[in-house]
Chain A
Protein backbone atom coordinates (compact mmCIF):
# COMPACT_ATOMS: atom_id res chain seq x y z
CA UNK A 1 0.00 0.00 0.00
CA UNK A 2 1.31 3.43 -0.99
CA UNK A 3 0.25 4.95 2.31
CA UNK A 4 2.68 2.68 4.19
CA UNK A 5 5.46 3.56 1.78
CA UNK A 6 5.02 7.22 2.67
CA UNK A 7 4.52 6.82 6.40
CA UNK A 8 7.46 4.54 7.04
CA UNK A 9 8.20 3.67 10.64
CA UNK A 10 11.39 5.74 10.52
CA UNK A 11 9.36 8.85 9.64
CA UNK A 12 6.83 8.25 12.38
CA UNK A 13 9.72 7.72 14.85
CA UNK A 14 11.27 11.07 13.95
CA UNK A 15 7.82 12.71 14.18
CA UNK A 16 7.17 11.35 17.67
CA UNK A 17 10.72 11.92 18.94
CA UNK A 18 12.27 14.71 16.90
CA UNK A 19 16.06 15.08 16.99
CA UNK A 20 17.69 18.41 17.74
CA UNK A 21 14.43 20.26 18.26
CA UNK A 22 14.40 23.66 19.96
CA UNK A 23 16.02 26.99 19.15
CA UNK A 24 19.58 27.35 20.45
CA UNK A 25 22.38 29.91 20.75
CA UNK A 26 24.74 30.80 19.23
CA UNK A 27 23.47 31.31 15.69
CA UNK A 28 24.31 33.57 12.77
CA UNK A 29 20.93 33.54 11.05
CA UNK A 30 17.34 32.68 11.85
CA UNK A 31 14.65 32.25 9.20
CA UNK A 32 10.93 31.62 9.39
CA UNK A 33 9.31 29.70 6.54
CA UNK A 34 5.65 28.86 6.07
CA UNK A 35 3.75 26.61 3.73
CA UNK A 36 0.99 29.04 2.74
CA UNK A 37 -1.34 26.29 1.55
CA UNK A 38 -1.62 24.60 4.93
CA UNK A 39 -0.16 27.08 7.39
CA UNK A 40 2.70 24.83 8.51
CA UNK A 41 5.58 26.85 9.95
CA UNK A 42 9.22 26.31 10.76
CA UNK A 43 11.82 28.55 12.35
CA UNK A 44 15.40 27.46 11.64
CA UNK A 45 18.65 28.78 13.12
CA UNK A 46 22.09 27.92 11.82
CA UNK A 47 25.43 28.20 13.53
CA UNK A 48 28.43 28.06 11.20
CA UNK A 49 32.15 28.07 12.02
CA UNK A 50 35.55 28.10 10.34
CA UNK A 51 36.13 28.53 6.58
CA UNK A 52 34.26 30.56 4.04
CA UNK A 53 31.45 29.64 1.67
CA UNK A 54 31.19 25.92 1.08
CA UNK A 55 34.10 25.22 3.47
CA UNK A 56 32.30 26.57 6.54
CA UNK A 57 31.14 23.95 8.98
CA UNK A 58 27.52 23.51 10.07
CA UNK A 59 27.91 23.49 13.85
CA UNK A 60 24.21 23.47 14.58
CA UNK A 61 20.80 23.48 12.93
CA UNK A 62 18.21 24.22 15.60
CA UNK A 63 14.52 24.59 14.89
CA UNK A 64 11.00 25.00 16.12
CA UNK A 65 8.24 23.63 13.91
CA UNK A 66 4.48 23.41 13.74
CA UNK A 67 3.25 21.01 11.16
CA UNK A 68 2.37 17.61 9.85
CA UNK A 69 4.35 14.43 10.45
CA UNK A 70 6.15 14.73 7.11
CA UNK A 71 7.40 18.28 7.66
CA UNK A 72 8.35 17.63 11.29
CA UNK A 73 10.15 14.36 10.57
CA UNK A 74 11.93 15.82 7.55
CA UNK A 75 13.34 18.67 9.64
CA UNK A 76 14.47 16.22 12.32
CA UNK A 77 16.28 14.12 9.69
CA UNK A 78 17.84 17.29 8.24
CA UNK A 79 19.29 18.03 11.66
CA UNK A 80 20.83 14.54 11.81
CA UNK A 81 22.25 14.61 8.30
CA UNK A 82 23.52 18.17 7.99
CA UNK A 83 25.06 19.08 11.35
CA UNK A 84 28.79 18.37 11.60
CA UNK A 85 29.34 18.63 7.85
CA UNK A 86 30.69 21.43 5.71
CA UNK A 87 28.21 23.68 3.95
CA UNK A 88 29.37 22.11 0.66
CA UNK A 89 28.59 18.60 1.89
CA UNK A 90 25.30 19.71 3.38
CA UNK A 91 24.22 21.31 0.11
CA UNK A 92 25.10 18.12 -1.79
CA UNK A 93 22.90 16.11 0.56
CA UNK A 94 20.15 18.72 0.23
CA UNK A 95 20.32 18.58 -3.56
CA UNK A 96 20.09 14.80 -3.58
CA UNK A 97 17.18 14.92 -1.16
CA UNK A 98 15.34 17.59 -3.12
CA UNK A 99 15.87 15.69 -6.39
CA UNK A 100 14.44 12.54 -4.78
CA UNK A 101 11.27 14.07 -3.32
CA UNK A 102 10.55 16.11 -6.45
CA UNK A 103 11.19 13.22 -8.83
CA UNK A 104 7.68 11.69 -8.87
CA UNK A 105 9.56 8.44 -8.16
CA UNK A 106 11.92 8.66 -11.14
CA UNK A 107 15.14 9.19 -9.16
CA UNK A 108 16.61 6.19 -7.36
CA UNK A 109 17.83 7.55 -4.03
CA UNK A 110 21.46 7.00 -3.00
CA UNK A 111 21.34 5.58 0.52
CA UNK A 112 25.03 6.39 1.08
CA UNK A 113 24.27 10.08 0.69
CA UNK A 114 20.77 10.22 2.10
CA UNK A 115 20.85 7.71 4.96
CA UNK A 116 17.54 7.98 6.92
CA UNK A 117 16.28 10.53 4.42
CA UNK A 118 15.66 7.77 1.84
CA UNK A 119 12.53 7.06 3.87
CA UNK A 120 11.03 10.17 2.27
CA UNK A 121 11.18 8.63 -1.22
CA UNK A 122 7.51 7.63 -0.80
CA UNK A 123 6.54 11.30 -0.57
CA UNK A 124 7.53 11.72 -4.22
CA UNK A 125 4.34 9.84 -5.19
CA UNK A 126 2.23 12.62 -3.61
CA UNK A 127 3.08 15.98 -5.19
CA UNK A 128 0.86 17.80 -2.70
CA UNK A 129 3.17 16.71 0.13
CA UNK A 130 6.51 17.60 -1.46
CA UNK A 131 6.39 21.07 0.08
CA UNK A 132 5.98 19.46 3.51
CA UNK A 133 9.08 17.36 3.01
CA UNK A 134 11.11 20.35 1.85
CA UNK A 135 9.97 23.02 4.32
CA UNK A 136 12.73 22.62 6.93
CA UNK A 137 15.43 21.77 4.41
CA UNK A 138 14.85 24.86 2.28
CA UNK A 139 14.67 26.98 5.42
CA UNK A 140 18.14 25.65 6.29
CA UNK A 141 19.45 26.59 2.84
CA UNK A 142 18.01 30.09 3.20
CA UNK A 143 19.47 30.46 6.72
CA UNK A 144 22.95 29.50 5.50
CA UNK A 145 22.70 32.00 2.65
CA UNK A 146 21.63 34.74 5.05
CA UNK A 147 24.35 33.87 7.58
CA UNK A 148 27.07 33.98 4.93
CA UNK A 149 25.69 37.16 3.32
CA UNK A 150 25.75 38.98 6.65
CA UNK A 151 29.25 37.67 7.36
CA UNK A 152 30.43 38.91 3.97
CA UNK A 153 28.89 42.30 4.72
CA UNK A 154 30.52 42.70 8.11
CA UNK A 155 33.71 41.02 6.92
CA UNK A 156 33.71 38.91 10.05
CA UNK A 157 33.88 35.16 10.52
CA UNK A 158 32.07 33.19 13.12
Chain B
Protein backbone atom coordinates (compact mmCIF):
# COMPACT_ATOMS: atom_id res chain seq x y z
CA UNK B 1 0.00 0.00 0.00
CA UNK B 2 0.98 3.59 -0.36
CA UNK B 3 2.06 5.75 2.53
CA UNK B 4 -1.42 7.16 2.98
CA UNK B 5 -3.93 4.97 1.18
CA UNK B 6 -6.28 6.86 -1.10
CA UNK B 7 -9.98 6.83 -0.37
CA UNK B 8 -12.34 4.85 -2.55
CA UNK B 9 -14.47 6.94 -4.87
CA UNK B 10 -17.77 8.01 -3.40
CA UNK B 11 -16.73 7.68 0.23
CA UNK B 12 -18.87 10.19 2.06
CA UNK B 13 -19.80 10.94 5.59
CA UNK B 14 -22.61 12.72 7.38
CA UNK B 15 -20.90 15.75 8.88
CA UNK B 16 -24.01 17.09 10.60
CA UNK B 17 -24.47 13.78 12.40
CA UNK B 18 -20.79 13.70 13.35
CA UNK B 19 -20.87 17.28 14.65
CA UNK B 20 -23.75 16.36 16.95
CA UNK B 21 -21.35 14.00 18.74
CA UNK B 22 -19.01 16.90 19.66
CA UNK B 23 -20.66 19.06 22.34
CA UNK B 24 -17.98 21.76 22.16
CA UNK B 25 -18.70 22.50 18.49
CA UNK B 26 -22.12 23.92 19.34
CA UNK B 27 -20.79 26.60 21.70
CA UNK B 28 -20.27 30.22 20.80
CA UNK B 29 -17.28 32.44 21.50
CA UNK B 30 -16.52 36.20 21.54
CA UNK B 31 -20.01 37.69 21.82
CA UNK B 32 -22.11 34.81 20.53
CA UNK B 33 -20.20 33.95 17.38
CA UNK B 34 -20.47 30.28 16.42
CA UNK B 35 -17.18 28.52 17.03
CA UNK B 36 -15.28 27.70 13.84
CA UNK B 37 -12.61 25.30 15.09
CA UNK B 38 -9.75 25.06 12.60
CA UNK B 39 -6.98 24.06 15.00
CA UNK B 40 -7.22 20.27 15.08
CA UNK B 41 -3.57 20.04 14.05
CA UNK B 42 -2.78 21.35 17.54
CA UNK B 43 -5.46 19.34 19.32
CA UNK B 44 -8.68 17.80 18.10
CA UNK B 45 -12.02 17.88 19.89
CA UNK B 46 -13.50 14.77 21.48
CA UNK B 47 -16.84 13.12 20.76
CA UNK B 48 -19.25 12.10 23.51
CA UNK B 49 -18.32 8.47 22.85
CA UNK B 50 -14.77 9.14 24.03
CA UNK B 51 -15.87 11.20 27.03
CA UNK B 52 -18.45 8.53 27.95
CA UNK B 53 -15.93 5.71 27.69
CA UNK B 54 -13.62 7.45 30.16
CA UNK B 55 -16.45 8.29 32.54
CA UNK B 56 -17.97 4.79 32.39
CA UNK B 57 -14.61 3.22 33.08
CA UNK B 58 -13.98 5.52 36.03
CA UNK B 59 -17.48 4.98 37.41
CA UNK B 60 -17.44 1.20 37.13
CA UNK B 61 -13.98 -0.36 36.84
CA UNK B 62 -11.29 2.09 37.95
CA UNK B 63 -8.25 0.45 39.55
CA UNK B 64 -4.49 0.35 39.09
CA UNK B 65 -3.75 -1.96 36.17
CA UNK B 66 -1.33 -4.89 36.19
CA UNK B 67 -1.24 -5.17 39.97
CA UNK B 68 -3.63 -6.64 42.53
CA UNK B 69 -5.98 -9.54 42.01
CA UNK B 70 -9.34 -8.04 42.90
CA UNK B 71 -12.29 -7.76 40.53
CA UNK B 72 -11.78 -4.11 39.65
CA UNK B 73 -8.08 -4.62 39.02
CA UNK B 74 -8.88 -7.40 36.56
CA UNK B 75 -11.53 -5.37 34.78
CA UNK B 76 -9.28 -2.33 34.56
CA UNK B 77 -6.39 -4.41 33.19
CA UNK B 78 -8.68 -6.02 30.60
CA UNK B 79 -10.01 -2.60 29.51
CA UNK B 80 -6.48 -1.17 29.26
CA UNK B 81 -5.13 -4.13 27.27
CA UNK B 82 -8.22 -4.23 25.06
CA UNK B 83 -7.56 -0.58 24.16
CA UNK B 84 -3.99 -1.51 23.25
CA UNK B 85 -5.24 -4.29 20.95
CA UNK B 86 -7.66 -2.01 19.10
CA UNK B 87 -5.11 0.79 18.77
CA UNK B 88 -2.49 -1.65 17.47
CA UNK B 89 -4.93 -3.01 14.89
CA UNK B 90 -5.84 0.56 13.86
CA UNK B 91 -2.26 1.25 12.73
CA UNK B 92 -1.41 -2.21 11.43
CA UNK B 93 0.80 -3.20 14.37
CA UNK B 94 0.94 -6.23 16.66
CA UNK B 95 -0.32 -5.68 20.18
CA UNK B 96 3.09 -6.09 21.86
CA UNK B 97 4.57 -3.46 19.54
CA UNK B 98 2.44 -0.70 21.05
CA UNK B 99 3.82 1.16 24.08
CA UNK B 100 1.66 3.74 25.86
CA UNK B 101 3.44 7.00 26.67
CA UNK B 102 2.21 10.35 27.93
CA UNK B 103 2.40 11.86 24.43
CA UNK B 104 4.26 11.53 21.14
CA UNK B 105 7.09 13.71 22.44
CA UNK B 106 7.72 11.21 25.22
CA UNK B 107 7.52 8.36 22.70
CA UNK B 108 10.31 9.87 20.59
CA UNK B 109 12.36 10.65 23.69
CA UNK B 110 11.90 7.04 24.80
CA UNK B 111 13.66 5.87 21.63
CA UNK B 112 16.35 8.56 21.88
CA UNK B 113 17.07 7.85 25.55
CA UNK B 114 16.99 4.09 24.95
CA UNK B 115 19.71 4.60 22.34
CA UNK B 116 21.50 6.95 24.69
CA UNK B 117 21.54 4.29 27.41
CA UNK B 118 22.77 1.71 24.90
CA UNK B 119 25.55 4.12 23.95
CA UNK B 120 26.92 4.19 27.50
CA UNK B 121 26.79 0.39 27.68
CA UNK B 122 23.70 0.44 29.87
CA UNK B 123 21.67 -2.13 27.95
CA UNK B 124 19.48 -4.99 29.07
CA UNK B 125 21.93 -7.35 27.42
CA UNK B 126 24.38 -7.48 24.54
CA UNK B 127 21.56 -7.03 22.02
CA UNK B 128 21.42 -3.33 22.97
CA UNK B 129 24.81 -2.91 21.29
CA UNK B 130 23.00 -2.45 17.98
CA UNK B 131 21.81 0.97 19.20
CA UNK B 132 25.23 2.20 20.29
CA UNK B 133 26.10 5.66 18.91
CA UNK B 134 29.31 7.60 19.13
CA UNK B 135 31.59 10.06 17.33
CA UNK B 136 31.59 9.35 13.59
CA UNK B 137 27.97 8.16 13.63
CA UNK B 138 25.24 10.33 12.15
CA UNK B 139 21.54 10.91 12.74
CA UNK B 140 19.49 12.25 9.84
CA UNK B 141 16.30 14.26 10.23
CA UNK B 142 14.56 16.91 8.11
CA UNK B 143 14.15 20.65 8.11
CA UNK B 144 10.35 20.27 8.23
CA UNK B 145 10.21 18.42 11.55
CA UNK B 146 8.16 19.43 14.54
CA UNK B 147 10.55 20.27 17.40
CA UNK B 148 9.49 16.95 19.00
CA UNK B 149 11.26 15.03 16.23
CA UNK B 150 14.27 17.33 16.14
CA UNK B 151 15.34 18.41 19.62
CA UNK B 152 15.54 14.85 21.05
CA UNK B 153 17.96 13.96 18.21
CA UNK B 154 20.02 17.11 18.75
CA UNK B 155 20.28 16.10 22.39
CA UNK B 156 21.15 12.48 21.57
CA UNK B 157 23.95 13.76 19.31
CA UNK B 158 25.18 16.06 22.06
CA UNK B 159 25.28 13.19 24.57
CA UNK B 160 26.91 10.62 22.28
CA UNK B 161 29.17 12.69 20.04
CA UNK B 162 27.19 11.68 16.94
CA UNK B 163 26.49 14.31 14.26
CA UNK B 164 23.10 15.58 13.13
CA UNK B 165 22.41 15.92 9.38
CA UNK B 166 19.17 16.82 7.66
CA UNK B 167 17.21 16.90 4.44
CA UNK B 168 16.46 20.47 3.37
CA UNK B 169 13.08 21.68 2.20
CA UNK B 170 12.51 22.90 -1.36
CA UNK B 171 10.78 26.19 -2.14
CA UNK B 172 7.55 24.35 -2.92
CA UNK B 173 7.60 22.66 0.46
CA UNK B 174 8.90 19.20 -0.41
CA UNK B 175 11.91 17.35 0.97
CA UNK B 176 14.98 17.89 -1.19
CA UNK B 177 15.67 14.22 -1.94
CA UNK B 178 18.41 15.10 -4.46
CA UNK B 179 20.74 16.26 -1.72
CA UNK B 180 20.63 13.16 0.40
CA UNK B 181 22.48 13.29 3.74
CA UNK B 182 22.05 9.53 4.30
CA UNK B 183 25.43 7.74 4.14
CA UNK B 184 27.10 4.64 5.52
CA UNK B 185 27.62 6.64 8.72
CA UNK B 186 23.87 7.15 9.25
CA UNK B 187 22.42 5.17 12.16
CA UNK B 188 18.98 6.79 12.52
CA UNK B 189 16.67 8.50 10.02
CA UNK B 190 13.87 10.41 11.79
CA UNK B 191 11.19 12.08 9.68
CA UNK B 192 7.58 13.15 9.65
CA UNK B 193 4.75 11.33 7.93
CA UNK B 194 3.04 14.66 7.31
CA UNK B 195 4.35 18.15 8.01
CA UNK B 196 2.30 19.81 10.74
CA UNK B 197 2.79 23.15 8.96
CA UNK B 198 2.90 22.52 5.21
CA UNK B 199 0.76 19.38 5.09
CA UNK B 200 3.48 17.80 2.93
CA UNK B 201 3.55 13.99 2.95
CA UNK B 202 7.14 12.85 2.28
CA UNK B 203 7.74 9.61 0.35
CA UNK B 204 7.99 7.23 3.32
CA UNK B 205 8.76 4.10 1.26
CA UNK B 206 11.67 5.82 -0.48
CA UNK B 207 13.13 7.12 2.78
CA UNK B 208 12.74 3.69 4.40
CA UNK B 209 14.47 2.12 1.39
CA UNK B 210 17.41 4.52 1.63
CA UNK B 211 17.72 4.07 5.40
CA UNK B 212 17.61 0.29 5.14
CA UNK B 213 20.24 0.30 2.42
CA UNK B 214 22.75 1.64 4.96
CA UNK B 215 21.35 -0.26 7.97
CA UNK B 216 19.89 2.83 9.68
CA UNK B 217 16.80 2.73 11.88
CA UNK B 218 13.76 4.77 10.82
CA UNK B 219 11.67 6.79 13.29
CA UNK B 220 8.39 8.12 11.89
CA UNK B 221 6.50 11.03 13.43
CA UNK B 222 2.96 9.92 12.62
CA UNK B 223 1.17 12.56 14.72
CA UNK B 224 -0.38 14.24 11.69
CA UNK B 225 -1.06 11.10 9.64
CA UNK B 226 -2.63 8.50 11.94
CA UNK B 227 -5.53 10.83 12.92
CA UNK B 228 -6.42 11.70 9.33
CA UNK B 229 -5.82 8.76 7.00
CA UNK B 230 -5.44 4.97 6.95
CA UNK B 231 -1.94 4.06 8.15
CA UNK B 232 -0.40 0.59 8.12
CA UNK B 233 2.91 0.69 9.96
CA UNK B 234 3.91 -2.86 9.01
CA UNK B 235 3.31 -2.07 5.36
CA UNK B 236 5.33 1.14 5.64
CA UNK B 237 8.20 -0.84 7.11
CA UNK B 238 9.35 1.80 9.58
CA UNK B 239 11.24 0.70 12.70
CA UNK B 240 9.64 3.10 15.15
CA UNK B 241 6.67 5.47 14.98
CA UNK B 242 5.01 7.88 17.38
CA UNK B 243 1.58 9.48 17.55
CA UNK B 244 -0.56 11.21 20.13
CA UNK B 245 -4.09 10.59 21.37
CA UNK B 246 -5.29 14.16 21.55
CA UNK B 247 -4.88 14.82 17.83
CA UNK B 248 -7.11 11.82 16.91
CA UNK B 249 -10.30 12.66 18.84
CA UNK B 250 -8.87 11.02 21.96
CA UNK B 251 -7.67 12.29 25.34
CA UNK B 252 -4.53 14.25 26.08
CA UNK B 253 -1.99 12.60 28.38
CA UNK B 254 -1.67 9.54 26.14
CA UNK B 255 0.61 8.87 23.21
CA UNK B 256 1.82 5.77 21.45
CA UNK B 257 5.23 4.47 20.55
CA UNK B 258 5.28 1.76 17.92
CA UNK B 259 8.45 -0.30 17.63
CA UNK B 260 9.18 -3.45 15.67
CA UNK B 261 9.11 -6.30 18.17
CA UNK B 262 12.73 -7.29 17.64
CA UNK B 263 13.86 -3.71 18.29
CA UNK B 264 11.75 -3.13 21.38
CA UNK B 265 13.16 -6.36 22.78
CA UNK B 266 16.70 -5.02 22.37
CA UNK B 267 16.11 -1.39 23.39
CA UNK B 268 17.19 -0.50 26.96
CA UNK B 269 14.51 1.07 29.17
CA UNK B 270 14.04 4.83 29.46
CA UNK B 271 12.01 5.40 32.64
CA UNK B 272 12.49 2.80 35.34
CA UNK B 273 10.60 1.80 38.49
CA UNK B 274 7.45 -0.21 39.16
CA UNK B 275 5.62 -2.22 36.51
CA UNK B 276 8.60 -2.43 34.16
CA UNK B 277 10.58 -4.98 36.17
CA UNK B 278 10.94 -8.74 36.09
CA UNK B 279 12.89 -9.22 39.34
CA UNK B 280 14.22 -6.67 41.82
CA UNK B 281 16.99 -7.25 44.35
CA UNK B 282 18.99 -4.68 46.29
CA UNK B 283 21.99 -5.47 44.09
CA UNK B 284 20.15 -4.87 40.84
CA UNK B 285 17.09 -5.65 38.74
CA UNK B 286 16.00 -7.33 35.55
CA UNK B 287 13.33 -5.97 33.27
CA UNK B 288 10.02 -7.13 31.87
CA UNK B 289 9.65 -7.77 28.14
CA UNK B 290 8.12 -5.00 26.03
CA UNK B 291 5.74 -3.26 26.05
CA UNK B 292 5.73 -3.41 29.88
CA UNK B 293 9.47 -2.58 29.98
CA UNK B 294 8.64 0.90 28.71
CA UNK B 295 5.60 1.58 30.90
CA UNK B 296 7.06 2.34 34.33
CA UNK B 297 4.62 3.30 37.07
CA UNK B 298 0.83 3.20 37.09
CA UNK B 299 -0.10 4.21 33.56
CA UNK B 300 -2.72 6.66 32.28
CA UNK B 301 -5.56 4.20 32.30
CA UNK B 302 -8.73 6.14 31.50
CA UNK B 303 -6.85 7.99 28.77
CA UNK B 304 -5.87 4.69 27.11
CA UNK B 305 -9.50 3.60 27.30
CA UNK B 306 -10.59 6.94 25.83
CA UNK B 307 -8.11 6.52 22.99
CA UNK B 308 -9.49 3.04 22.37
CA UNK B 309 -12.95 4.60 22.07
CA UNK B 310 -11.59 7.25 19.68
CA UNK B 311 -10.21 4.50 17.45
CA UNK B 312 -13.59 2.72 17.55
CA UNK B 313 -15.27 5.99 16.60
CA UNK B 314 -12.92 6.59 13.66
CA UNK B 315 -13.35 2.97 12.51
CA UNK B 316 -17.12 3.38 12.34
CA UNK B 317 -16.69 6.41 10.06
CA UNK B 318 -13.87 4.71 8.17
CA UNK B 319 -10.45 6.26 7.69
CA UNK B 320 -10.88 6.31 3.91
CA UNK B 321 -13.94 8.50 4.37
CA UNK B 322 -12.11 10.71 6.90
CA UNK B 323 -9.29 11.19 4.43
CA UNK B 324 -11.62 11.94 1.52
CA UNK B 325 -13.54 14.50 3.57
CA UNK B 326 -10.44 16.33 4.76
CA UNK B 327 -9.06 16.24 1.24
CA UNK B 328 -12.16 18.06 0.02
CA UNK B 329 -11.76 20.72 2.75
CA UNK B 330 -8.06 21.14 1.97
CA UNK B 331 -8.69 21.47 -1.76
CA UNK B 332 -11.33 24.15 -1.16
CA UNK B 333 -9.08 26.05 1.26
CA UNK B 334 -6.10 25.99 -1.11
CA UNK B 335 -8.23 27.16 -4.02
CA UNK B 336 -9.98 29.97 -2.15
CA UNK B 337 -6.92 31.28 -0.30
CA UNK B 338 -4.87 31.34 -3.51
CA UNK B 339 -7.59 33.49 -5.04
CA UNK B 340 -7.21 36.12 -2.33
CA UNK B 341 -4.77 38.89 -3.25
CA UNK B 342 -2.08 39.36 -0.61
CA UNK B 343 -2.29 35.78 0.67
CA UNK B 344 0.66 33.40 0.23
CA UNK B 345 0.38 29.70 1.01
CA UNK B 346 3.46 27.99 2.47
CA UNK B 347 3.98 24.56 0.97
CA UNK B 348 2.25 22.52 -1.72
CA UNK B 349 -0.59 24.32 -3.51
CA UNK B 350 -2.33 21.12 -4.61
CA UNK B 351 -3.61 18.18 -2.58
CA UNK B 352 -1.13 15.77 -4.15
CA UNK B 353 0.91 14.00 -1.43
CA UNK B 354 -0.48 16.49 1.00
CA UNK B 355 -2.72 16.43 4.06
CA UNK B 356 -5.01 18.93 5.72
CA UNK B 357 -2.84 21.59 7.30
CA UNK B 358 -2.73 24.87 5.39
CA UNK B 359 -0.24 27.49 6.53
CA UNK B 360 -0.28 30.94 4.99
CA UNK B 361 0.80 34.54 5.32
CA UNK B 362 -1.15 37.73 4.71
CA UNK B 363 0.93 40.53 3.26
CA UNK B 364 1.19 43.49 5.64
CA UNK B 365 -0.36 41.74 8.64
CA UNK B 366 1.56 39.91 11.32
CA UNK B 367 0.00 36.45 11.90
CA UNK B 368 -0.68 37.30 15.54
CA UNK B 369 -2.71 40.32 14.50
CA UNK B 370 -4.56 38.38 11.79
CA UNK B 371 -5.50 35.65 14.24
CA UNK B 372 -6.91 38.28 16.60
CA UNK B 373 -9.37 39.39 13.92
CA UNK B 374 -10.18 35.77 13.04
CA UNK B 375 -10.72 35.05 16.74
CA UNK B 376 -13.06 38.01 16.93
CA UNK B 377 -15.09 36.29 14.20
CA UNK B 378 -15.16 33.06 16.24
CA UNK B 379 -12.48 31.34 14.14
CA UNK B 380 -9.78 29.38 15.99
CA UNK B 381 -6.55 28.96 14.01
CA UNK B 382 -2.97 28.48 15.12
CA UNK B 383 -0.42 31.26 14.71
CA UNK B 384 3.29 31.31 15.39
CA UNK B 385 5.95 28.87 14.26
CA UNK B 386 3.84 25.79 15.18
CA UNK B 387 6.83 24.16 16.90
CA UNK B 388 8.63 24.10 13.54
CA UNK B 389 10.94 27.07 13.84
CA UNK B 390 13.68 25.84 11.46
CA UNK B 391 11.04 25.24 8.77
CA UNK B 392 9.81 28.81 9.06
CA UNK B 393 13.39 30.04 8.88
CA UNK B 394 13.86 28.00 5.69
CA UNK B 395 10.91 29.87 4.19
CA UNK B 396 12.33 33.18 5.40
CA UNK B 397 9.31 33.91 7.57
CA UNK B 398 9.06 34.45 11.28
CA UNK B 399 5.66 32.84 11.73
CA UNK B 400 2.51 31.90 9.89
CA UNK B 401 -1.21 31.28 10.25
CA UNK B 402 -2.33 27.66 10.06
CA UNK B 403 -5.79 26.26 9.46
CA UNK B 404 -6.12 22.52 10.09
CA UNK B 405 -9.07 20.19 9.89
CA UNK B 406 -10.67 17.07 11.21
CA UNK B 407 -13.66 14.98 10.32
CA UNK B 408 -16.14 17.46 11.87
CA UNK B 409 -15.18 20.50 9.76
CA UNK B 410 -17.35 21.79 6.94
CA UNK B 411 -17.00 23.69 3.67
CA UNK B 412 -18.98 26.52 5.31
CA UNK B 413 -16.17 26.82 7.84
CA UNK B 414 -13.66 27.14 5.01
CA UNK B 415 -15.79 30.02 3.68
CA UNK B 416 -15.82 31.58 7.16
CA UNK B 417 -12.01 31.43 7.20
CA UNK B 418 -11.78 33.14 3.83
CA UNK B 419 -14.23 35.84 4.94
CA UNK B 420 -12.22 36.25 8.15
CA UNK B 421 -8.99 36.77 6.20
CA UNK B 422 -10.73 39.47 4.10
CA UNK B 423 -11.98 41.13 7.29
CA UNK B 424 -8.44 41.15 8.71
CA UNK B 425 -7.17 42.82 5.53
CA UNK B 426 -9.87 45.47 5.79
CA UNK B 427 -9.33 46.00 9.52
CA UNK B 428 -5.63 46.67 9.08
CA UNK B 429 -6.13 48.66 5.89
CA UNK B 430 -4.14 46.34 3.64
CA UNK B 431 -7.02 45.08 1.49
CA UNK B 432 -5.66 45.13 -2.07
Contact = CB atoms under 8 A, between A and B. Distances in A.
Contact of A68 (B30, B366, B376, B392): B366
Main SS at interface, chain A = mixed
B376 A129 contact: no
A66 B385 CA distance: 14
B368 interface: yes
Contact of B385 (A2, A12, A38, A129): A38
Contacts of B31: 2
Contact of A66 (B373, B398, B428): B398
Contact of A129 (B368, B373, B398): B368
Contacts of B30: 2
Contacts of A132: 368
Given A3-B427, A38-B384, A38-B385, A129 B399 contact: no
Interface residues of A, number: 19
B328 interface: no
Interface string A1-25: 1110011000010000000000000
Given A66-B398, A67-B366, A69-B366, A129 B383 contact: no
A39 B398 contact: yes
Interface in A55-74: 66-70
Interface in B4-63: 30-31
Contacts of A7: 369, 372, 427
B383 A38 contact: yes
Query: Which of A39, A40, A66, A67: most chain B Cβ within 10 A?
Result: A39
B287 interface: no
Nearest to A67: B366
Interface in B81-106: none
A153 interface: no
A40 B368 contact: yes
A39 B384 contact: yes
Nearest to A4: B427
A154 interface: no
Given A3-B427, A39-B389, A68 B373 contact: no
Contacts of A129: 368, 372
Given A39-B384, A68-B369, A70-B369, A2 B392 contact: no
Interface in A66-105: 66-70
A56 to B, nearest CB: 34
Contacts of A38: 367-368, 383-385, 399
Nearest to B389: A39
B419 to A, nearest CB: 15
Closest 7 CB pairs of A and B: A68-B368, A68-B366, A38-B384, A3-B376, A39-B385, A39-B399, A69-B369
19 contacts: A1-B376, A2-B30, A2-B376, A6-B372, A7-B427, A38-B367, A38-B368, A38-B383, A38-B384, A38-B385, A39-B385, A39-B389, A39-B392, A40-B399, A67-B366, A68-B368, A69-B428, A70-B368, A129-B368
Interface of A: 1-3, 6-7, 12, 37-41, 66-70, 126, 129, 132
